[in-house]
Structure 1
Amino acid sequence: MTEPNLELSPIGNCQVSALIDEAAGFVWGCVPRVDGDPVFCSLLNGDRQDEGVWRFELEGQVSATQHYVRNTPILVTRLEAEDGSALDIYDFAPRFERSGRMYRPVAFIRIARPVSGAPRLRVRLAPMRNYGEELSKTTSGTNHIRYQLGDQTMRLTTDAPVGYILEDCSYRVESDQHFFLGPDEPFVGNIRSEVRRMEANTKKYWQHWVRGLHIPLEWQEEVIRAAIALKLCQHEETGAIVAALTTSIPEAPGSQRNWDYRFCWIRDSYYTVQALNRLGALDVLEKYLAYLRNIIDQARGGQIQPLYSVMGLAELHEFEAENLAGYRGNGPVRIGNAAYTQVQYDCYGQIVMPTAQAFFDTRLLRMADERDFTHLEEVGEAAWAKHDKPDAGLWEFRTRQEVHTYSAVMCWAACDRLSKVAGQLGKADRVAFWKERAETIRAKIDAEAWSEEDGHYVASFESNYLDASLLQMVELRYLKPDDERFLATFEAVERELRRGDHMLRYAAEDDFGAPETAFNVCTFWLIEALHLTGRSEEARKMFEAMLEHTTQSGLLSEDLDYDTGELWGNFPQTYSLVGIINSAGHLSKSWSEVR
């Protein structure tokens, strides 16, 4: 039994997703959606890695290699045995237009295709229920097996020998075999022809989606892979975007920093749609704006939470899954996230900024109108009321509150963007109103967050520590990159938080002690700041160094051990993938150079 690692490859269809290890094992996957019960939980199952898994094992196997079908999340794993026999495993979740709507069922498809010799295959399908409490109960028919997963039942339909699967026996594979694990209903049509049709249509969908992206000249494969993974993090039914597909991968071993990231953070989602919008992926933005409108309606001018469920539910009670040992035994495994009870006032700016685009962008199917502006002004009023009030901040401190500079700047951004939207709508009085409020907030920030003693901005109005979010003052257009105040702040942040080619989010102790790993998005913020302040060659070298830490699937988790280079934290992390896209866009040569 090998120790779990984050060398994982995601598949999905914007309804369900799974993470597949290097040897074609489903080690993480939840149903009926990303925040559901992890029926595949081997990744967090300690010594019980043969439970909560769907694994294809070749008899006498000596190697496994993987790649994605170009510009898709269809994963191909080649398993090779010592006798020279080999087979390919194709994994995907079906997604394509059918009957005038997107077909994206709660279903996973696997195809085993013999390549050479006489491969003997063992199929181990052992889903669990109730967060690793027990294996599912099974019943079977001529060509299917039913798995009782608590309140939900799934059915495996296959043209492989069902008895061999039930008995965990190896058998000779002489022709392609097809596996459809989906809803508990009869599979309509011939499984061979239907699964192959789904494979072709899913491939066509994703390659056409990628074809519409406006990618940089350099690092195309890296950007495309990051973009696909970001799209897989959207729950299309509601438009919500989750921060990651996993829960409780610790930020560092033994740190207890184990959080459930399968929810929609307003902050993370803002950065995600911003990055995808730069690539022209308006479908993700449009669906997310619909999600935001629902959140704003429910708040009715009141408190906006930092995160919600993918269905927009407000209460995300946190508890520990006692039957799961945790990643490499690093428990606890947390389900839910108590951060929903926190106040984080940066969320107001992160609602206004993506929504503001809808008043300007004529490509959108539904442009925003004056009714939307009325509702958005309610968010702006909240930003104005809270801009100088203590909150938990973007790093979600659980035991203290301060007036965080990043939150105040985001509140400024909310008012600043509302003045621009008002101008677009021809509302001169509201332009003046919101511009005045933005200027008042700016004056407050400059008075309280600027340290005359140290000669730079600090992370909060009450303290003089630094954090990496100060580098976002340029991205948010609060300062220009050549502003002496930004240059001084950048110098201080780099001096205190940079660790070689990596960046801490902060160095001060928090609720769990001093941070032990670099926060990957902060490293990308550093790369962007280097480029914007004229140190582009250094930025390129650092970016290339970061890309060397990606998994073979081209992705990153949240954190990285800056001494060993090992990835930690939930995976794949949207923040980190945004960093890949944005940095590539900043640093790439222009397309005009090859025209």
Structure 2
Amino acid sequence: MIPTPPQSLDLAIVGNCSFAGLIDRMARVVWCCLPRFDGDPVFHSLLGTRGEEGDGAFAIELEGVVRSEQAYVENTAVVVTRLFDSSGNAIEITDFAPRFHAKGRMFRPNALVRRVRVIAGHPRIRVRCRPRFAYGSREPEVTFGSNHVRFVANGLTLRLTTNAPVTYVRDETPFLIDGPLSFYLGPDESLTNHPDLLCREFEEQTTHYWRTWTRRLGLPLEYQEAVIRAAITLKLCTYEETGAIVAAVTTSIPEAANTERNWDYRYCWLRDAFFVVRALNSLSEMETMENYLRYINNIASMTNGDHVQPLYGIALEKTLTETTVDLPGYRGMGPVRVGNQAYEHFQHDVYGNIVLGASQAFFDKRLLHQPGIDDFERLEVIGERAFAMHDQPDAGLWELRTRARVHTSSSLMCWAACDRLAKIAGQFGRAERARHWHERAEQIRATILKRGWNEKVGAFVESFEGNDLDASLLLIAEVGFLPAKDPRFVATVERIGDSLKRGHHLFRYHAADDFGAPENAFNICTFWYIDALARIGRKEEAREIYEAMLACRNHVGLLSEDTTPQTGEMWGNFPQTYSMVGIINGAMRLSDGWDSLV
């Protein structure tokens, strides 16, 4: 029996591919950035507050509450929280961000809808809506009308429209709820209908949208609940306007307790985005790839064959200067960072991630917008940069801030860029270009086999002529560099397991980095290990570890970046797209096929 781990990140995500919010088990909105993922966290109590308790949150409180239940409406991004008091009274709170087709386009406003209904007795509630601005430093000016309250500060105005008594809401006065209530928090615009009627209609249409979206997924036979939740979560981390994909919706959830490993993940890492696209492609969800290609093409057109950053802002911003703000931090563990210094890094795996993220589109006839020869030529510029950088020092996949080496995983991805370009050239009948890229790929292959393999260690190692192991080398078979049964790959998997595994969890590496030795396991590495084990024939062992990882999800099926092996506690930014990708990949690798039912 796998124990249920303790959790502090007991949060559900709602969103609509333009922004997202996190809601805790007591139905408090504790994190929400507006007007987009990397915007001002108007609700920021997840990272503490500069004022009194309750600031930076949107709570609908049941007096005398003693317990709660929380779950998603099946196959949707609509979350329902039930609160129960000690006298048998209970309410149900439904939260979502509207998303559905209307008037020939996708309707996805910067708006959060909260609907409340009585499910038992005569409950008494208090509404506390306390947005704060400029990372908690500014209280808004509050004005109100007959059915709304406005919060004005820092160039942003939020309007809370409701059929609840506005005076009670404004003054946070407890009151008896005697009928359905709706709260629409969004731009400073009047609603076109009665709040409860409009919010109920939006709930119905949003529920229908997500159930229709889910219905089109090509699911595995097993682990469907986990896969569906992971897929919806990945979709919620896409910024539809530009096609960008954020690594997570939070900043500064530390990788381990009381460390300086606090980062802002509200940007688009080209590496992480590739893995998201690949996972959703495996479920036949192609729209995300089509949107992401728009983003990638813009990145490629900006670089002109020069250095490509490992990450960009969700609207192609290049400069993401890292600063700190005066918030206490998650569970009091600062610093709280805004921006990410990694945008200055040289991380050469990025070139492979760009080409890999786009490559399926050149072969998939389902796409509405088929890439053409000009798209291929744009990627060729990226490929030339990959070849030039494949044996040059960089910060590596793990973004080391004070040390540069020729990382084997970076060279591996440079190989993948050239290899896939050869295949794409063949698809277009460009034999000369196919030979060119094949020769470049073979040159990189020879370099990796000579300099990345350590005979004494008996495995591929973290850097050329190095001695340390690195979980990223588990990708060797996944990207097709070597067959899974190649003795060198099998040996690498075995050495990595012996060195980096703690219980059911895998660390990135064991050597100390800029902040000392890592304290927690990195979830995507564990999923890479699961995949590698299954590929080399150790499928039952892989299944055991996979199911242990599923048990580490929180109560609504979400994972963060890191896990404490001894307890299963979640750490790191949330929900982490890398980790949710691992859930999908593991299920696709391990599930029995549908033909097993015949």
SS at match of 2:362: coil
Q: Does structure 2 retain, via aligned residues, the 8 Å contact 1:520–1:576?
A: yes
1:250 counterpart SS class: coil
Partners of 1:49 and 1:489 lie apart in 2 by: 51
Alpha carbons 1:260, 1:336 under 8 Å: kept: yes
Aligned partner (choices 330, 335, 339) of residue 336 of structure 1: 339
- Paired position in structure 1 for 2:262: 258
Query: Equivalent residues in 2 for 1:125-144 (5 A)?
Result: 125-144=129-148
Determine helix, strand or coil for the equivalent of 1:134: coil
- After TM superposition, give the deviation of residue 49 of structure 1 in Å: 4.0
Q: Decide which of 8, 12, 15 is 1:12's aligned counterpart.
A: 15
Q: Distance in 2 between matches of 1:169 and 1:37?
A: 28
The AA in structure 2 aligned to 1:443 is A
Query: Which residue number corresponds to residue 63 of structure 2?
Result: 59
Does the 8 Å contact 1:51/1:135 carry over to 2?
Answer: no
1:116 and 2:108 matched: no
Q: Distance in 2 between matches of 1:200 and 1:49?
A: 34
Identity %: 52
- Aligned equivalent of 1:228: 232
Aligned residue in 2 for 1:43: 46
Counterparts of 2:549 and 2:358 in 1: how far apart (Å)?
Answer: 31
- Once the 2 structures are TM-superposed, how far is the Cα of residue 149 of structure 1 from its aligned partner? 3.5
Measured after TM superposition, the shift of residue 46 of structure 1 is 5.3
- The CA deviation at 1:167 is 1.1
Tell me what 1:161 maps to.
165
Residues 46 and 328, structure 1, Cα contact 8 Å, conserved in 2: no
Following superposition, the deviation at residue 381 of structure 1 comes to: 0.4
Determine the structure 2 residue equivalent to 1:211: 215
TM-score (norm 2): 0.98
Q: State the 1:290 CA deviation.
A: 0.6
Residue 367 of structure 1: how far off its partner (Å): 0.9
Q: Equivalent of 1:535, from 534, 538, 551?
A: 538
One of 180, 183, 189 as aligned partner of 2:187 = 183
- Is the contact made by 2:7 and 2:554 (CA closer than 8 Å) also made in structure 1? no
Q: 1:4 deviation in Å? A: 9.2
Letter of the 1:568 counterpart: W
- Residue 462 (structure 1) shift: 4.1
Q: What residue number does 1:425 align with?
A: 428
Which of 418, 434, 438 does residue 435 from structure 1 map onto? 438
What is the one-letter code of the residue matched to 2:173?
C
Partner of 1:308: 312
Other-structure match for 2:570? 567
Letter of the aligned partner of 1:338 in structure 2?
Answer: Q
Whole-angstrom CA distance in 2 between matches of 1:149 and 1:369: 47
Which position in structure 1 is the counterpart of 2:451?
Answer: 448
Deviation at 1:81, TM superposition (A): 1.2
TM-score w.r.t. structure 1 length?
A: 0.98
Residues 251 and 336 in structure 2, CA contact (< 8 A), matched pair in contact too: yes
Rounded Cα–Cα distance in structure 2 between residues aligned with 1:9 and 1:195: 20
1:545 aligns with 2:581: no
Please state whether the residue corresponding to 2:394 is helix, strand or coil. Answer: coil
The alpha carbon displacement at 1:530 in A equals: 1.2
Question: What is the CA–CA distance in structure 1 between the aligned matches of 2:281 and 2:153, rounded to whole Å?
Answer: 38
For 2:389, the aligned partner's letter is K
* Residue in 1 that maps onto 2:103: 99
Q: 2:512 aligns with which of 509, 513, 526?
A: 509
Letter in 1 for 2:203: E
- Cα RMSD (Å): 1.1
Deviations 1:215-262 (A, max 9, x none): 111110000000000000001110100000100000001110000000
Q: Following the alignment from structure 1 to structure 2, what is the Cα–Cα distance between the partners of residues 570 and 99? A: 36
Superposed CA offset, 1:388-423 (max 9, x none): 000000000000100000000100000000000000
CA distance, structure 2, for counterparts of residue 46 and residue 496 of structure 1 = 41
1:196 is aligned to: 200
Moved more, 134-143 or 194-203: 134-143
Distance in 2, Cα, partners of 1:544 & 1:449:
33
Q: Output aligned runs, 1:147-158, within 5 Å.
A: 147-158=151-162
Comparing 533-542 with 103-112, greater Cα deviation is found at 533-542
Paired letter, 2:255? E
4+ long deviations beyond 3 Å: 46-49
Q: Kindly state the Cα deviation for residue 356 of structure 1 after the two structures are TM-superposed.
A: 1.5
1:474 aligns with 2:474: no
Instruction: Give the match's secondary structure for 2:32.
Output: strand
1:460 counterpart SS class: coil
Distance in 2 (alpha carbons) for counterparts of 1:590 and 1:456: 33
- 1:20-55 Cα offsets, whole Å, 9 max, x none, are 001000000100001000000000015844110001
Amino acid at match of 2:407: H
| Partner in structure 1 of residue 400 of structure 2 | 397
Question: Structure 1 residue 463: deviation in Å?
Answer: 2.0
Query: Which consecutive residues of structure 2, in runs of 5 or more, have no partner in the other structure?
Result: 1-5
Mapped contact 1:305–1:342 kept (Cα < 8 A): yes
Q: Secondary structure at the match of 1:24?
A: coil
> 348, 352, 357: which is aligned to 1:345?
348
User: Quick one: which of 20, 25, 33 aligns to 1:22?
Assistant: 25
Q: Secondary structure at the match of 1:489?
A: helix
In structure 2, the CA distance between the partners of 1:292 and 1:462, relative to structure 1 (3 Å rule), is same
Residues 150-169 of structure 1: CA deviation (Å, up to 9, x unaligned): 11101011000011111111
Q: Secondary structure at the match of 2:398?
A: coil
Q: Give aligned pairs, total.
A: 592
Tell me if the contact between 1:65 and 1:77 (Cα under 8 Å) persists in the aligned partners. yes
Aligned to 1:585: 588
**Does 2:462 match 1:495?**
no
